[in-house]
Amino acid sequence: MKCKEPLEYILDRLQLSVRKNNLKNSKQRELILKVIYENGGHLSPEDIFGIIRQTCDNASLSSIYRILPFLEKEGFVNSIEVDRNGKRYEIASELHHDHMYCLECGKIEEFCNDEIEKLQIEVTDAHHAKLVTHDMLLYVVCENCLNKQNGQSKTKHSR
């Protein structure tokens, strides 16, 4: 889900959070948020570093790894872990959504499904529990990869 909140508003909230936590102002925090916002999210720390390095020679990967947990704790970004390569980050959105991860190409796609949300409530109610939050991650082979596989298999069979 694309964030509807303007970047300027997010950066203003970041400044308030930095003051609240008695931290020094850091352009790196702003730059990391800007990169995630402008690139649509689902970025690894290495992806973020690569983008920042294009314009900022003194960026460091260790700083990015240090800053991301703060941004997540303060509610500016969310993370998902899709594979053993670590977390991917996106701008936190008020709209709940789930993710599909293609095992072939690594593409991450967001989706919302009201029926799935209702079923989760039914399951927790049946177990006399209260659903607080959840993360759903579906591992798939995306349409593009399926088409490539089907094209390859057709070519193999036609020989």
pLDDT tens for 7-42 read 999 999 999 999 999 998 888 999 999 999 999 889
Q: Please state the rounded mean pLDDT for residues 77-93.
A: 90
- Alpha carbon 75 to its chain centroid, in Å, reads 13
Q: Is the pLDDT of residue 149 over 70?
A: yes
Burial of residue 42 (CB within 10 Å: 0-12, 13-18, 19+) is: buried
pLDDT tens for 32-80 read 999 999 998 899 999 999 999 999 888 899 999 999 999 999 999 999 9
pLDDT higher for 85 or 28?
Answer: 28
Minimal CA–CA distance to 77: which of 95, 101, 60, 93? 93
The whole-number pLDDT of residue 158 equals 41
Average pLDDT, the chain: 89
Q: Please state the rounded mean pLDDT for residues 85-100.
A: 88
| Predicted confidence band of residue 3 (pLDDT cuts 50, 70, 90) | low
Tokens 């936590």 sit at which residue? Answer: 21
- Alpha carbon 76 to its chain centroid, in Å, reads 11
Q: Is the pLDDT of residue 101 over 90?
A: yes
**Residues counted in the chain:** 159
Q: Please state the rounded mean pLDDT for residues 76-93.
A: 90
